[in-house]
Amino acid sequence: MPDLLIEFLSEEIPARMQKQAAENLKKMVTDRLVEAGLPYEGARAFATPRRLALSVQGVPARQPDLKEEKKGPRVGAPEGAIQGFLKSAGLASIDQATISKDAKKGDFYLAVIEKAGRPAIEVVGEIVPQVIRAFPWPKSMRWGAGDLTWVRPLQSIVATFGPETEEPEVIPFSIDGLTSGDTTRGHRFLAPDAIRVKRLDDYASKLETARVVLDPQRRKDIILTEAKNLAFAQGFDLVEDEALLEEVAGLVEWPVVLMGAFDEAFLAIPPEVIRTTIRANQKCFVLRDPKTGKLANKFVLVSNIEASDGGKMIVAGNERVIRARLSDAKFFYETDLKTKLQDRLPKFEQIVFHEKLGTQGQRIERIERLAGEIAPLVKADADTAKRAARLAKADLLTEVVGEFPELQGLMGKYYALAQGEDASVAQTSEDHYKPAGPADRVPTDPVAVAVALADKIDTLVGFWAIDEKPTGSKDPYALRRAALGVIRIILENESRVALAGLLVKQHSVIHAQVNRSTVEFDFLKEASAQNDPAPEPPQDAAPDPAMVKNLLAFLADRLKVQLREQGVRHDLADAVLALEGLDDFLMIVRRVEALGKFLDTEDGKNLLAGTKRAANILRIEEKKDGVAYTDEPDKRLYQVPEEQSLAAAILSVRFEAKHAVDHDDFAAAMAAMARLRPKVDAFFDKVTVNVEDPPLRENRLKLLNQIRAATAAVADFSKIEG
């Protein structure tokens, strides 16, 4: 079967756009082929800085013939209806239609339309211009006098089609003055002459000869292998960087790896600053001395050409730029060290965090207070936690972080250590932002844990208080990430934190701090205008319990997501979280784990079945009677031993399960529940609930409710599937 080859040659495509562009090209072309009745065997897309290419294998030579039946009007219908049918079906006269007989609806006309399939080369000749016109570049441009838009000026189009055993044909089409052909060009400088290509193997081979590596993954492999070998030859280790490798592979068509050096004096700068400076400005990799574990004064660059001098001028040019950039970084770092972090804090009073949540200074005060409250819960020193919270954001005002925002927190750690702060205070500057994503680690130092929780809780409560909650896919303040951060920090550090009280208190603080400052400002402004003494501002409103409950439910939903990703059954989490008043997420997870183990046992499965049976009977009878049977049953009305035995077991189990739960011993609570199972089974075997005697029926329904109430000590069994 024929193969299809397409290439769009243009000026340089930004590296960040190449991967998605290749995926888009593949999807857009193959989707249209399938829609046109041309299924394919396989497809591969490629991108280099100057070209997008697609090879589709096993495309049929032509579309299949189609046969369609079009139903027309009844025989004897008005002339207008018949003429409309003839026009829509493409028939010259009604004699060309057949008559279909229907005993119920009568005879009607039927047109059999046969549509011959077209050659695939014609269909593809229509598809490719459509793809070019509709291509979804993040940014595109026009050039010359035409109206075509592309990411950069488009220079040529290759479009060939044909079986492997034959010379492929050029798919003929023209768009905005560009005519398709079978000619491309190699490397801009090393092999700029025209190259005639056929299909993928021939195309890739000729490009390689012309100093173009077509496959992005192969370019990455070449860069990584040669960089490691070059570093090893000099006695160093390459500091690998997958994101930088991806970017650099999108900047070169013919990767040539070289090594440069910078002055050893720059090694006095924190290594992250060196690495970020070299990475951001020159897209170069740094090296590490394996003997010391520290950065070496060397770097690896990737050139796009093989220079006649072996790359000496290229290396020298990169060294000059890196020397200048590192000089700037060294100046910023040394300047920052002259001002203590503590002395930078007053400036935060002039920086608005959010118009409804006050200044950054006010927010730091809130986080400091909350960190002091959380500290004892996570076994941290309260004073140290408050100090760490006070200084954690100070590096945002430094020169280095102003130049490289991605180093926030990390630079705070360096400055804090240089200024003699406690090691935990310094580490908190870096760690309180964590986790920044699902793959990021969580803080483990107790002080950092306290401040990280305080920071994220303040963010959540603040934006909930001003009704800026996430909606659908929109989450501009990354509140879902903050919520998952709170959950992961608590669970991975096995911290006992009752969240409800903290949320209520923080909401009160935000009201008292932000609302009072706003109200006082308005009152003073009004009094000043009237030359009157300022009146007393009104008292702040109490926290909204509904808001706090809503936020706690949001956190619980994030916990469910986290547990589901870890393979925990969603219904078990629902069953535990359905209970009122649970806000200690560590204990919630442990309860879910214990419940899961219990339900894997025979006792657990049978008790679940019995509990569900009791709940179903209650639901039906309560709905029918219009009452809830929640009162205690009257033991004087017990008539059979199974009633008395079940009642006694429930009394014992409820006490033991509650005692175990109160002491966070969920395994013991489940063991107590297991003893209820035979009594429930015996009750349903021997006792009829819906008897004719109304008082007896009511009493037995109340006893069923006691089963439901007993199991509710650990979970809402009605939420459990099965």
List pLDDT tens digits, range 434-451. 999 888 999 999 999 999
430 and 548 in a single domain? The answer is: yes
Task: Name the nearest CA neighbour of 357 among 461, 481, 479.
Answer: 461
Provide the pLDDT for residue 99.
84
Structural domain range at position 78: 69-114
H or E element at residue 260: strand 256-261
What percent of the chain has a predicted confidence (pLDDT) above 90?
69
Task: Name the nearest CA neighbour of 174 among 152, 146, 200.
Answer: 146
> Does 642 fall in a domain?
yes
Q: Which residues contact 168 (CB under 8 A, 6 or more apart)?
A: 2, 3, 5, 160, 161, 162, 182, 198, 199
616 and 707 in a single domain? The answer is: yes
Provide the pLDDT for residue 612.
87
pLDDT tens-digit series, residues 80-111 = 888 888 888 888 888 888 888 877 778 888 88
| Rounded CA separation 547/665 (Å) | 32
Average pLDDT, the chain: 91
485 and 626 in a single domain? The answer is: no
Looking at residues 542-549, what average pLDDT do you find? Answer: 78
Q: Which of 209, 244, 275 is the last residue of a domain?
A: 209
| Rounded CA separation 330/325 (Å) | 9
Provide the pLDDT for residue 531.
54
Kindly give the residue spans of alpha helices, DSSP state H, lying in 234-344.
242-249, 271-282, 312-337, 341-344
173 and 251 in a single domain? The answer is: no
With beta carbons less than 8 A apart as the criterion, state whether 25 and 11 touch.
no
234 and 376 in a single domain? The answer is: no
Looking at residues 46-50, what average pLDDT do you find? Answer: 98
| Rounded CA separation 4/57 (Å) | 6
200 and 227 in a single domain? The answer is: no
Provide the pLDDT for residue 205.
96
Provide the pLDDT for residue 530.
53
| Rounded CA separation 722/719 (Å) | 10
b/e per residue 360-390 (b: at least 16 CB within 10 A): bbbbbbbbbbbbbbbbebbebbeebbbbbbb
Give yes or no for residue 398 having a pLDDT over 70: yes
Q: Which residues contact 686 (CB under 8 A, 6 or more apart)?
A: 640, 642
> Does 330 fall in a domain?
yes
Lowest mean pLDDT among 31-45, 475-489, 536-550, 646-660: 536-550
| Rounded CA separation 238/296 (Å) | 10
Provide the pLDDT for residue 542.
58
220 and 275 in a single domain? The answer is: yes
Neighbours of 558 (CB within 10 A): 21
Q: How many angstroms separate the most distant Cα atoms in the chain? A: 106
Looking at residues 262-274, what average pLDDT do you find? Answer: 96
The better pLDDT of the pair 704, 261 is held by 261
640 and 622 in a single domain? The answer is: yes
> Does 537 fall in a domain?
no
Q: pLDDT-derived band of residue 517, with 50, 70 and 90 as boundaries?
A: low
| Rounded CA separation 655/146 (Å) | 83
Q: pLDDT-derived band of residue 543, with 50, 70 and 90 as boundaries?
A: low
Provide the pLDDT for residue 329.
96
Provide the pLDDT for residue 534.
43
| Rounded CA separation 681/671 (Å) | 17
Cα torsion angle, 271, 273, 274, 280, sign: positive
Q: Which residues contact 210 (CB under 8 A, 6 or more apart)?
A: 185, 186, 187, 190, 191, 193, 195
Q: Which of 54, 85, 114 is the last residue of a domain?
A: 114
| Rounded CA separation 333/414 (Å) | 10
Q: Which of 209, 232, 266 is the last residue of a domain?
A: 209
> Does 424 fall in a domain?
yes
89 and 39 in a single domain? The answer is: no
Following CA atoms 672, 673, 675, 679 in sequence, which dihedral angle do they give, to the nearest 10 degrees?
A: 150
84 and 163 in a single domain? The answer is: no
Work out how many domains the chain is built from and give that number.
5
Give yes or no for residue 532 having a pLDDT over 60: no
Looking at residues 628-642, what average pLDDT do you find? Answer: 89
232 φ, ψ (degrees, to nearest 5): -60, -40
With beta carbons less than 8 A apart as the criterion, state whether 239 and 275 touch.
yes
Give yes or no for residue 525 having a pLDDT over 80: no
26 and 166 in a single domain? The answer is: yes
For position 131, which CATH number holds?
A: 3.30.70
pLDDT tens-digit series, residues 214-230 = 999 999 999 999 999 99
> Does 674 fall in a domain?
yes
H or E element at residue 175: strand 174-175
Give yes or no for residue 529 having a pLDDT over 70: no
Kindly state the tokens that stand for 335.
């300047």
H or E element at residue 157: strand 154-162
With beta carbons less than 8 A apart as the criterion, state whether 655 and 712 touch.
no
With beta carbons less than 8 A apart as the criterion, state whether 503 and 554 touch.
no
Q: pLDDT-derived band of residue 265, with 50, 70 and 90 as boundaries?
A: very high
| Rounded CA separation 448/391 (Å) | 12
> Does 412 fall in a domain?
yes
Residue labelled with tokens 């800026």: 468
> Does 594 fall in a domain?
no
DSSP collapsed to 3 states, 100-141 = ECCCCCCCEEEEEEEECCCEHHHHHHHHHHHHHHHCCCCCCE
377 and 464 in a single domain? The answer is: yes
Provide the pLDDT for residue 536.
47
DSSP collapsed to 3 states, 33-92 = HHHCCCCCCEEEEEEECCEEEEEEECCCCECCCEEEEEEEEECCCCHHHHHHHHHHHCCC
> Does 580 fall in a domain?
no
